[in-house]
Amino acid sequence: MSDPSAPVPVVRIRGLRKSFGANRVLDAIDLDVARGEVVVVIGPSGSGKTTLLRCINLLEPYDDGSVQVDGVEVGFRAGADGTRRRRGERELTGIRADIGMVFQLFNLFPHLTARENVMLGLRKVRGLPEAEARGRADQWLTRVGLSDKLDSYPSQLSGGQQQRVGIARAVAMDPKVLLLDEITSALDPELVGEVLTVVQELARDGMTMVVVTHEMTFARDVGSRIVFMDGGRIQVEGTPRDVLAATTHERLRAFLARIELRHHETR
């Protein structure tokens, strides 16, 4: 851990650009995430928010610009002659281990129990001994309310339970930042609450997070800052109150209206 009083952000993104073929998905993104901050990214589908998240741990390589996590450039390393080279697989794995990610479709390992899902990274990446990894896995699974499901396979768990295993698997690695990619979008409405409660507790404990979500209530209550993306650019950025209430921005207002409408329809 570096000095918390130092103003170095945990995530620092500058001029980030990414295209899929001719389609520019991210266009000159600048974003800082300070320690303990919860940055909520909202925007219509196709606006680039998931891609932005996936660039932070380099599940997607980016074309141009810079992504730094805790001061380390994620996608590139400086070559001897000052040019940038893409990092090799081996260097990347070390960086990724410090960046937690929770997925929309959980992506639990179906052949492993809840406990083994959490233990895999602790054993193979962190190199913890069996007993210690098991202890930490059980501790986190208990914290997300699954102390009675330690030996269950993902197929024996509800969506909400699976996603809580997903969260435990990510936070057990003790990441510097946690990336949440629409983690409640695939859940039945009545299961959304149990997952968001867990995230809320993590936020209260000071976990740094970048959250892509359509849950506006969550964004308002938990977010330190809201970022509205559209067309691969950050259009509006500010405190939840500013972004959600005083909207003079045309596209943001249209987006919020659509979300609001959908929200009422599901009620």
Partner 1 sequence: MDLALRSLPFLWGGLLVTLHVSLLVVTFSLAAGVLLGVGIAYGPRWLYWPIRFYSDFFRGVPLLVLIFFVYYGLPAARINLTSFAAAVLALSAFKTAHVIEIVRGAIQSIPRGQTDAGKAIGLTFRQRFQYVVAPQAVRRFLPPWINAVVDTVKGSALVSLVGIVDLMLAIQQVIGRTYVPMPMYVLGALMYFAINYSLSLTSRRLEARFAYIRE
- 28 or 186: whose CB is closer to partner 1? 186
- 94 or 129: whose CB is closer to partner 1? 94
Residue 121 touches partner 1, criterion: CB under 8 A? yes
d(CA 19, CA 3): 36
d(CA 192, CA 161): 10
Q: Do the strands 11-20 and 64-69 form a parallel or antiparallel pair, or are they unpaired?
A: antiparallel
The answer to whether 76 touches 262, Cβ cutoff 8 Å, is no
| Interface of this chain with partner 1, residues 130 to 169, rule: CB under 8 A | 153, 155-156, 169
d(CA 176, CA 33): 11
Q: Which stretch binds partner 1 (CB under 8 A): 23-31, 67-75, 118-126, 142-150?
A: 118-126
Residue 125 touches partner 1, criterion: CB under 8 A? yes
| Interface of this chain with partner 1, residues 73 to 112, rule: CB under 8 A | 89-90, 93-94, 96-101, 103, 105, 107-111
Q: Which stretch binds partner 1 (CB under 8 A): 35-43, 116-124, 230-238, 243-251?
A: 116-124
- 90 or 267: whose CB is closer to partner 1? 90
The answer to whether 16 touches 4, Cβ cutoff 8 Å, is no
In the complex, the smallest distance separating the C-beta of residue 173 from partner 1, rounded to whole angstroms, is 6
Tokens 């559209």, located at residue: 230
In the complex, the smallest distance separating the C-beta of residue 123 from partner 1, rounded to whole angstroms, is 9
- 7 or 127: whose CB is closer to partner 1? 127
Alpha-carbon distances, residue 145 vs 60, 130, 141, 181, 202 (angstroms)? 32, 22, 6, 21, 13
Q: How many C-alpha atoms does 47 have within 13 Å on its Cβ side? A: 20
- Print the SS3 string covering 61-87: CCCEEEEEECCEECCEEECCCCCEEEC
Residue 127 touches partner 1, criterion: CB under 8 A? no
Residue 185 touches partner 1, criterion: CB under 8 A? no
- 67 or 216: whose CB is closer to partner 1? 67
Residue 45: alpha-carbon gap to chain centroid? 17
- 123 or 220: whose CB is closer to partner 1? 123
Q: List residues near partner 1 by CB under 8 A.
A: 57, 59, 89-90, 93-94, 96-101, 103, 105, 107-111, 120-121, 124-125, 153, 155-156, 169-170, 173
